[in-house]
C-alpha cells in the first residue's frame, strides 16, 4: 500500500530530552512537511522540504530540527529548547509545487511528562 507512515503513535518525553519523530512515505513525493496541531489553534507549519538535502523553516521552527537525507524520509527532532512540545504532530507529502495536493500521515502524539 502506498502512503505515509509515522512512528511512534504515542511518545512521552521527559524534561530536557530530545526526541525524534519518524515520517516515511512511499509515494515518490518530492515535498514533505511537518505540522503541529494544538486544540483550538488548527495546524501550523514547522518545517518543509521541497527536495532531498534541502529544507526551510515554517512558522514555528524554534526548538525543532529536521533532516532530509533520503527522498522517502523526513524525521523531526523535538529538542529541549522547545518549551511547550506537547501536541499532535502530523507529517505530509506532495508531488511538489504549490499546486499539488498534500497527503497526511496518521500522526504522533507527543506528551511531556
Q: How many residues bind other proteins (CB under 8 A)?
A: 31
List of residues 6+ apart from 29 with CB closer than 8 A: 71, 93, 94, 95, 96, 103
Q: H or E stretch including 52?
A: none
- Residues 8-47 vs other proteins: string with x where CB under 8 A? -----------------------x-x-x----xxxxxx--
Least Å from the CB of residue 76 to other proteins: 15
In the set 27, 63, 109, 112, which binds other proteins (CB under 8 A)? 109
Amino acid at each position: 500500500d502506498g502512503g505515509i507512515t509515522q512512528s511512534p503513535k504515542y511518545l512521552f518525553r521527559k524534561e530536557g530530552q530530545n526526541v525524534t519523530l519518524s515520517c516515511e512515505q512511499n509515494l515518490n513525493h518530492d515535498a514533505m512537511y511537518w505540522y503541529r496541531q494544538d486544540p483550538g489553534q488548527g495546524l501550523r507549519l514547522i518545517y518543509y522540504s521541497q527536495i532531498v538535502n534541502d529544507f526551510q523553516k515554517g512558522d514555528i521552527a524554534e526548538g525543532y530540527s529536521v533532516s532530509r537525507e533520503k527522498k522517502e524520509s523526513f524525521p523531526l527532532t523535538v529538542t529541549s529548547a522547545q518549551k511547550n512540545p506537547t501536541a499532535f504532530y502530523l507529517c505530509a507529502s506532495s508531488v511538489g509545487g504549490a499546486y499539488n495536493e498534500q497527503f497526511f500521515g496518521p500522526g504522533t502524539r507527543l506528551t511531556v511528562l
